[in-house]
């Protein structure tokens, strides 16, 4: 039943939000992609290499709950990919594969896209480590779950 779909139950249209399923991807100006991610590698940043090698387009993904940023240059173009980490409860006692606490990092990705007068869009990305309470510092501001503090 369509009325029981997740987007209808959450009334996403009321908030002008479009649901993007985990197998879908968003591409901005043909230069930056956001996706859930398909690959997993054993070290932070290694999954970013796999995602970038597959697409040769700058972007970001989650999926592994690890944080990492890589840059690769081909034909005088620099591409970047970020693994965005996670902002969940790391004190949940969760054990990865039943053996040890998971190798996950708290991080936030900031993406800047700009057009500098030529025909090409430019992408700049920052990967910022988040604290245990999910707060992070960026551009002279401390972003916390309770609000923003300016310095």
Helix (H, G, I), strand (E, B), or coil: what is residue 126?
A: strand
Average pLDDT over residues 32-51: 87
Report the SS3 class of residue 44.
Answer: coil
**Structure tokens, 69:** 């940023």
Q: What is the mean pLDDT of residues 127-142?
A: 92
For 46, phi then psi, to 5°, come to: -70, -35
Q: What distance in Å separates the CA atoms of residue 138 and residue 151, rounded to the nearest whole number? A: 10
Query: What pLDDT, on the 0 to 100 scale, is given for residue 129?
Result: 92
pTM higher than 0.85, yes or no?
A: no
Q: What is the mean predicted confidence (pLDDT) over 131-143?
A: 91
Average pLDDT value for residue range 85-97: 67
pLDDT interval class at 142 (50, 70, 90) = very high
| Minimum mean pLDDT range among 13-22, 28-37, 96-105, 111-120 | 96-105
Query: At 86, phi and psi to the nearest 5?
Result: -155, 165
Determine what percent of the chain is predicted with pLDDT higher than 90.
30
């Amino acid at each position: 039943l369509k009325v029981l779909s997740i987007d209808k139950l959450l009334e996403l249209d009321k908030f002008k939000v479009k649901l993007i399923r985990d197998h879908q991807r968003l591409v901005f100006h043909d230069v930056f992609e956001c996706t859930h991610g398909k690959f997993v590698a054993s070290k932070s940043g290694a999954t970013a290499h796999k995602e970038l090698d597959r697409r040769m387009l700058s972007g970001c993904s989650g999926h592994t709950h690890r944080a990492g940023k890589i840059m690769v240059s081909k034909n005088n173009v620099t591409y970047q990919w970020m693994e965005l980490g996670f902002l969940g409860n790391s004190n949940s006692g969760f054990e990865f594969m039943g053996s040890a606490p998971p190798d996950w990092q708290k991080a936030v990705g900031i993406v800047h896209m700009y057009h500098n007068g030529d025909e090409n869009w430019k992408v700049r990305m920052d990967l910022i480590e988040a604290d245990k309470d999910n707060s992070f510092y960026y551009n002279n501001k401390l972003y916390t779950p309770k609000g923003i503090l300016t310095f």
